[in-house]
């Protein structure tokens, strides 16, 4: 009995030795600030002073009854998320289908399409800000094509699509890698049998390819939904939420509320609501797509 206890204690100490440092830093950087944020969501605090007043549910009542900025920013975020998720996955999957074929330069093309994901969001936004303002304008003046002379970052509609373009350009290459990993694991015997049976590409895509890569679809949808809801840096560097807050996502509204308006309590309340909504949506998505996965 004593030897068994010592063995269990030794195993527990070994596990603590390996996971202890990462658990400590995870708690310090993620868990403790998260719990503190939940507490501040029920307070009136400006983020600077030592006076923290408990106000209960007042912040949440303010958000749901008289905060138009939060409702508008949430509407923009939902529209952006739906559009970005559909287009990023479509482009990523299309690139994966293309680059799993017998193309001589497919390895170089994979690298080229993946590179935008390596660039940070702020830097990427500033690069595309120059392209939209200077590059498109120069091309439009040279060719006379009206598409390039649109006010890409100066109008609500074109600003929305400008952000979508940059987000898709940045994220599609990363999803491409995940989809390629799923596509190359499809047994070649199934595809050959489908060819022998006379199945066309659409039939193979619907009945073989998509069902067998559903684990990759689950991962890609989860990543794009969560990242699109949390978009901040690209929007901040491109439009800063303008014009007139028409392209302001929820994350930016929370940022301005907490650090510009010095209402940290209200900003924390918005962040808590936003966290619960995103967590619920991503959980539902994972459950639904997991059920559609083919069990081997």
241-280 pLDDT, tens digit per residue, is 988 889 999 999 999 999 999 999 999 999 999 999 999 9
- Cα–Cα dist 260/247, whole Å: 18
How does residue 180 score in pLDDT terms, banded at 50, 70 and 90?
Answer: very high
In angstroms, the CA 113 to CA 117 distance is 8
Q: Hey, what domains does the chain have and what are their CATH numbers? A: 1-40 (no CATH), 57-291 (1.10.3720.10)
Record the pTM.
0.89
- For position 153, what pLDDT does the model report? 87
| Band (2; pLDDT cuts 50, 70, 90) | low
User: What are 65-92's pLDDT values in tens digits?
Assistant: 978 899 999 999 999 999 999 999 999 9
Does residue 9 have a pLDDT over 80?
A: no
Give the largest Cα separation in the chain, rounded.
Answer: 86
Instruction: Give residue 12's pLDDT band: very low, low, confident or very high (50, 70, 90).
Output: confident
Lowest-confidence segment of 1-5, 39-43, 115-119 by average pLDDT = 1-5
DSSP state letters, 10-53: HHHHHHHHHHHHHHHHHIIIIIHHHHHHHHHTTEE--SSSS--E
Closest CA to 128 of 83, 88, 170: 170
User: How do residues 36-52 score in pLDDT, each as one tens digit?
Assistant: 999 999 999 988 888 88
């Amino acid at each position: 009995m004593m030897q068994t206890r010592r063995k269990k204690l030794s195993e527990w100490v070994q596990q603590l030795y390996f996971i202890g440092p990462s658990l400590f830093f995870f708690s310090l950087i993620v868990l403790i600030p998260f719990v503190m944020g939940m507490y501040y969501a029920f307070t009136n605090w400006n983020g600077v002073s030592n006076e923290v007043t408990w106000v209960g549910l007042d912040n949440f009542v303010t958000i749901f009854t008289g905060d138009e900025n939060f409702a508008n920013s949430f509407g923009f975020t939902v529209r952006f998320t739906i559009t970005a998720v559909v287009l990023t996955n479509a482009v990523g999957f299309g690139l994966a289908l293309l680059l799993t074929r017998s193309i001589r330069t497919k390895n170089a093309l994979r690298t080229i399409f993946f590179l935008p994901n390596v660039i940070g969001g702020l830097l990427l936004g500033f690069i595309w800000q120059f392209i939209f303002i200077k590059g498109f304008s120069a091309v439009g003046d040279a060719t006379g094509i009206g598409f390039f002379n649109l006010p890409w970052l100066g109008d609500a509609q074109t600003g929305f699509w400008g952000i979508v373009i940059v987000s898709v350009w940045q994220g599609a290459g990363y999803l491409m890698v995940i989809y390629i990993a799923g596509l190359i694991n499809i047994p070649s015997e199934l595809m050959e049998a489908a060819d022998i049976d006379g199945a066309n590409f659409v039939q193979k895509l619907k009945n073989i390819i998509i069902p067998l890569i559903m684990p990759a679809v689950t991962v890609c949808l989860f990543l794009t939904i969560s990242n699109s809801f949390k978009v901040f840096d690209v929007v901040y560097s491109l439009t800063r939420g303008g014009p007139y807050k028409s392209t302001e996502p929820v994350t930016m509204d929370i940022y301005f509320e907490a650090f510009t308006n010095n209402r940290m309590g209200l900003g924390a309340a918005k962040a808590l609501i936003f966290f619960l909504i995103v967590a619920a949506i991503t959980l539902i998505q994972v459950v639904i797509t997991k059920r559609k996965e083919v069990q081997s």
